[in-house]
Chains A and B, each alone.
Chain A
Amino acid sequence: MSQQEMGVREELLKRFIESGERERLQEILRSKLYISGWQDRVKDKCEKFVHESGEGVEKLTVDGIAEAVTPYARASIPEDIKAEILEDIRAFMFRTLPKVDS
């Protein structure tokens, strides 16, 4: 990735956050994942992981559990929700790219 591309990328990311678009999409995503039942499934997975890990709850850390469950969580996101959010992000990019370039 060239230097310039990195610059554009970072600028985009900055605008993504500062415009509040990221938070807005996060809220929407959260609400969609709630109602699709994804959150309950992941929570269930976490609980199972905690139960099954023999080393006792004391030694588990948040990061450890996150690492273990992330592959499942990532894979179980409903395709349509993923597609919708990606489309929203794309729409934001199309709106913002011309401004970044100039």
Chain B
Amino acid sequence: MSSPAAAPDDTPSADTQQHGAAKEAAASKAPGRAKPGRQARGKHSGRCSHLAGKTKAVIDRLKVLVPYASVCKHRQALLQGRRGGSAAAAAAAATAGDREGTPAAGEGDRSRKRLVDEMPAPTCTTCHTPGDRLHACLTCDHYGCWQRAKHDTPHMHQHLAASGHAFALDFSRLVVYCAQCADYVHDAAVDAWLLGAQMRWHAALCDAAEPEAKRPRIVSTAGDLSPAQAKYLREHGALQACGGVRGLRNLGATCYLGAVLQALAHNPLVRGWMLSDGHHPATCRAAPCMACELDAAFQALFAADAAPFAPTRLLRALWLLRADLAGYGQQDAHECLMALLDTLHTGLAGAAPPRPCTCAVHQTFAGLLQSTVTCARCGNTTQAHDPMLDVSLDIPAPRGVRALDAAAVQWAGGRAGHVTSLHDCLAHFTRAEALAGYACLRCGTPGAAVKQLSIKELPPVLALQLKRFRHGARRGAKEDAFVRLPEHIDMTPYTSAALASRSQTLAGLRASLGHAVSSTGGVLPATVGGIPVVDRNAQGADASAVPRDTPLPVLSGPGGSSTLGKRRTDARHSNPACQYVLFAVVEHVGRLDTGHYTAYARQRAQWYRFDDAHVAPADIRDVLALAEEAKARAGRPAVGRAYMAFYHKQVLDYHDGTAAAAAADGQAGQMGQVNTHVDADGEFVEDAGTVRMRTSASGDVRVERRGRKKGAAKPQRPKPLPRASKPRATDDNYDAAEEGEIDEFIIAGSLGSAPAAAVERKVESESDSDGEALWDRINRARAPDLVPMGQPADALLADRPLFVDPAAIHQPLPPLPAVPAAALPSVDSNDFDDDASDDE
């Protein structure tokens, strides 16, 4: 939502990229290299003066190299998608007795071979090894490795020195190396281009990793502005200094509210929505309305005022709306968050929300939980899906209690001072549980079954709660165990697709071959070259314990959960759409009945600690509690305080009503066909396929874009539709979605950016061709008796920092003659295309 440079440490390129992952030694260097890249970008000298003058030539060369590198790197992942449902393919391959452990069935093998033949992996020109941090010369066709062991200087250095060529590209990390700086360098133009390229590949890889996945997409981040409104803002608006680090006064044991509000205020999607006028208090008739109060609170929090803010009105609204939270008692922060989200949803979406709800709350937090129950007798599985707004995780016992775990620990060399990580909690959450007395629908007999939870759809913002408060029958207790929260997390292993794919492969292989099966699905011979092969599953005595002739539950055998838990990350491929970054943590100190909540949150790549009215810059070390972790590792008691953690996706999926989406949507083939009606609420609704525009009597305009309809018959494509509206297209990385066939708009995870970005966006979003067309149309088609837009309560809005006066915007537009909607041409596509080609 802002240029990638705004939050350099969030860009995917700064992540670890292991080179010789096979050799963990090589891998261990990676962050060491990644980190200074980030440093370099922050300082001015990260700019390379040598590169600055040659960006065009370098980018020309990158245009050839980057696709090649991407294909080499993601070959297998891309092919997996082409084969269709990977789980099904894997199971089929496994039961067919295919000895290839990977789900590389016939067709996949063939096309992979073709791809390898066409684009063989490059090797070092000097020593012909394919690995070892290959770099490609950006001047000639030379490839060089970075191997140091036997040579004084890496082969790539030798080449650059000998030939005098200036730049090289790290082939797997896609970073430019400058020979004269003797370091990796960054240039705004080159980095923007690289980021755009990565985003394009990201989309392809996400689709490949989960071909039929319905990823929740952000339909719209806020009320869209018309070009006229944008023009007005540009001319009359003023940008404010950024706030966002303002304390919240404690109004009498309301630290729970303060902590949750801070976490919400630094949630990039909620913040973006609220600060860009996603909800108009002036036009809202509900009272009390949580959305209005939150809007006011956000305005105050992000004002350039440093004095603590007292959210009295918000608290009052909360008490009125939720009687159970009223009073001066101490409340649970998680309960408070749920209440806030619930009331906020009501405030934003009204009484009858569409399904799926497109309000800011659901676009941000809503995911889908899957519960799979497998009958132990007949292997029949049933799945149930439940919507979720957050995930509540139990904290499992810190040390392996069962013999199985003890064996695993011993096998791994006996670690002392095990640290419970978030992985343990998530693995515990998605473990296979034995159900007793389950009545199977197929075999009809009550009996045992295995139940497993998994995440079917991951939300853009993942809210995790660690269940620290246990309410027992007699007395409750607080769990103080330390849980290590990672800054980055890959949620792929806990998704339904990954779990199903893995267990099917295993079950199929076991059933068909009866061999000991390694955890990767490969079949291990008993010995190789006289060395006995240790299979950890067999050692764990769960795989072999299950008789081979009984149908295996799809989700691993009974009792297999602990091994599964350990090995959960063995999903075939990690899905790039499942990568998350931490942005807020709510902590609790004290006991069950009394205590204090504080929050950590990230704002513009800087962490802050919010303790009621006090705000102080914080270090990521404190957020992750590295000191406590060191204690736990040393075997000393460590206290865990983290109660809730909020992660956002590294790359967001935006869905905008693009030409492709419109074409896929049966009725929207003809843009001219617009249904207009006045709905029950007195709103003027204009329905144009994927885009629906509502104009309420009070002047509130809302443009909704609906998701692509799945399974709708594809109509023959009519005339080319205007290209996607790109209201969020103010970034350098914007060209990501302009080229090619990508139908979603994606912005890199530079979410730690400022509210100013959200405000600026208002000003700059003028390339909104959809919106423009609609705006035109609504002007022409509006019946004269409808209340025109405008007449807002000016007095109410006078103190709003950036306020659009609809009346003022409205006047410059000349009155348009009434034209039948069907006769409207699809305007503006030319303008937009010009822009697009310029960017390329």
Known: A19-B76, A35-B486. A74 touches B28 (CB 8 A): yes
Q: Which of A1-37 contact B (CB under 8 A)?
A: 10, 13-14, 16-37
Is A18's CB under 8 angstroms from B120's CB?
yes
Note all chain A residues with C-beta closer than 8 A to B342.
none
Note all chain B residues with C-beta closer than 8 A to A24.
76-77, 572-573
Q: Which of A39-64 contact B (CB under 8 A)?
A: 39-44, 46-47, 50, 57-58, 60-63
Note all chain B residues with C-beta closer than 8 A to A14.
121, 130
In angstroms, Cα B489 to Cα A35, docked, is 6
Q: Which of A58-80 contact B (CB under 8 A)?
A: 58, 60-63, 65-70, 73-74, 77-80
B18 within 8 A of A: yes
Note all chain A residues with C-beta closer than 8 A to B15.
30
Count the B residues whose beta carbon is within 8 Å of the partner chain — how many? 83
In angstroms, Cα B25 to Cα A53, docked, is 24
B637 within 8 A of A: no
Is A20's CB under 8 angstroms from B76's CB?
yes
In angstroms, Cα B18 to Cα A43, docked, is 14
Q: Which residue of the partner chain A has the closest CB to B567?
A: A84
Note all chain A residues with C-beta closer than 8 A to B99.
95
In angstroms, Cα B74 to Cα A33, docked, is 20
Which of B218-226, B411-419, B726-734 binds A? B411-419
Count the A residues whose beta carbon is within 8 Å of the partner chain — how many? 65
Is A29's CB under 8 angstroms from B18's CB?
yes
B27 within 8 A of A: yes
Least CB distance from B235 to A in Å reads 42
Is B624's CB under 8 angstroms from A40's CB?
yes
B620 within 8 A of A: yes
* Of A22, A28, A37, the contact of B486 (CB 8 Å cutoff): A37
Is A94's CB under 8 angstroms from B533's CB?
yes
In angstroms, Cα B33 to Cα A69, docked, is 9
Least CB distance from B426 to A in Å reads 8
Note all chain B residues with C-beta closer than 8 A to A65.
32-33, 35-36
Mark contacts of B488-506 with chain A using CB atoms, 8 A cut-off: 1 yes-contact digit, 0 otherwise.
1110110000000000000
B524 within 8 A of A: yes
B45 within 8 A of A: yes
Known: A20-B112, A23-B73, A82-B24. A28 touches B36 (CB 8 A): no
Least CB distance from A93 to B in Å reads 8
Is A40's CB under 8 angstroms from B487's CB?
yes
Least CB distance from B337 to A in Å reads 24
Is B35's CB under 8 angstroms from A92's CB?
no
Is A20's CB under 8 angstroms from B77's CB?
yes
B184 within 8 A of A: yes
Note all chain B residues with C-beta closer than 8 A to A39.
16, 31, 486-488
Note all chain B residues with C-beta closer than 8 A to A21.
76, 102
Mark contacts of A72-102 with chain B using CB atoms, 8 A cut-off: 1 yes-contact digit, 0 otherwise.
0110011110111111110110110100000
* Of B31, B73, B112, B518, the contact of A91 (CB 8 Å cutoff): B518
Q: Which of B118-140 contact A (CB under 8 A)?
A: 120-121, 128-131
Note all chain B residues with C-beta closer than 8 A to A87.
518-520, 536
Known: A44-B626, A50-B39, A62-B33. A31 touches B493 (CB 8 A): yes
Q: Which of B599-652 contact A (CB under 8 A)?
A: 620-621, 624, 626, 629
Note all chain B residues with C-beta closer than 8 A to A32.
569
Is A85's CB under 8 angstroms from B112's CB?
no
B825 within 8 A of A: no
Note all chain A residues with C-beta closer than 8 A to B120.
18
Is B36's CB under 8 angstroms from A29's CB?
no
B749 within 8 A of A: no
Note all chain A residues with C-beta closer than 8 A to B493.
31
Note all chain A residues with C-beta closer than 8 A to B77.
20, 23-24
Is A79's CB under 8 angstroms from B629's CB?
no
Known: A58-B45, A61-B36. A30 touches B574 (CB 8 A): yes
Q: Which of B512-537 contact A (CB under 8 A)?
A: 518-520, 522-525, 528, 533, 536
Note all chain A residues with C-beta closer than 8 A to B518.
87, 91
Known: A37-B629, A74-B28. A95 touches B522 (CB 8 A): yes
Is B131's CB under 8 angstroms from A13's CB?
yes
Is B492's CB under 8 angstroms from A31's CB?
yes
In angstroms, Cα B536 to Cα A19, docked, is 25
Is A73's CB under 8 angstroms from B182's CB?
no
Note all chain A residues with C-beta closer than 8 A to B620.
40, 44
In angstroms, Cα B574 to Cα A17, docked, is 17
Mark contacts of B471-489 with chain A using CB atoms, 8 A cut-off: 1 yes-contact digit, 0 otherwise.
0000000000000101111
Least CB distance from B209 to A in Å reads 10
Q: Which residue of the partner chain A has the closest CB to B528?
A: A94
Is B31's CB under 8 angstroms from A73's CB?
yes
Note all chain B residues with C-beta closer than 8 A to A20.
74-77, 79, 112
Least CB distance from A65 to B in Å reads 5
In angstroms, Cα B128 to Cα A17, docked, is 13
Least CB distance from A25 to B in Å reads 5
Note all chain A residues with C-beta closer than 8 A to B484.
36-37
In angstroms, Cα B414 to Cα A83, docked, is 12
Least CB distance from B621 to A in Å reads 6
Is B573's CB under 8 angstroms from A27's CB?
yes
B43 within 8 A of A: yes
Least CB distance from B441 to A in Å reads 36
Q: Which of B4-35 contact A (CB under 8 A)?
A: 15-18, 21-22, 24-25, 27-29, 31-33, 35
In angstroms, Cα B445 to Cα A101, docked, is 52
Is A77's CB under 8 angstroms from B421's CB?
no
Is A77's CB under 8 angstroms from B28's CB?
yes
In angstroms, Cα B538 to Cα A96, docked, is 22
Note all chain A residues with C-beta closer than 8 A to B76.
19-21, 23-24
Is B100's CB under 8 angstroms from A95's CB?
yes
Note all chain B residues with C-beta closer than 8 A to A83.
411-413
Note all chain B residues with C-beta closer than 8 A to A13.
129-131
Note all chain A residues with C-beta closer than 8 A to B129.
10, 13
Least CB distance from B44 to A in Å reads 10
B183 within 8 A of A: yes
Is B421's CB under 8 angstroms from A35's CB?
yes
Is B24's CB under 8 angstroms from A35's CB?
no
Known: A13-B129, A80-B412, A91-B522. A34 touches B486 (CB 8 A): yes
Known: A28-B574, A36-B423, A95-B522. A70 touches B29 (CB 8 A): yes
Is A73's CB under 8 angstroms from B28's CB?
yes
Known: A28-B570, A35-B422, A70-B29. A77 touches B24 (CB 8 A): yes
Q: Which of B87-113 contact A (CB under 8 A)?
A: 99-102, 104, 112
Is A46's CB under 8 angstroms from B21's CB?
no
Known: A28-B570, A70-B28, A80-B566. A33 touches B33 (CB 8 A): no
Note all chain B residues with C-beta closer than 8 A to A19.
76, 102, 104, 112
Q: Besides A43-B35, A80-B415, 14 other CB < 8 A contacts?
A: A16-B22, A19-B102, A30-B18, A36-B484, A37-B419, A37-B486, A39-B31, A39-B488, A57-B39, A67-B32, A68-B32, A83-B411, A88-B570, A91-B522
Interface pairs (13), CB distance under 8 Å:
A13-B129, A18-B116, A18-B120, A19-B112, A30-B16, A33-B27, A50-B35, A58-B43, A73-B32, A74-B24, A85-B21, A85-B24, A91-B101
* B-binding residues in A (CB < 8 A): 10, 13-14, 16-37, 39-44, 46-47, 50, 57-58, 60-63, 65-70, 73-74, 77-80, 82-89, 91-92, 94-95, 97
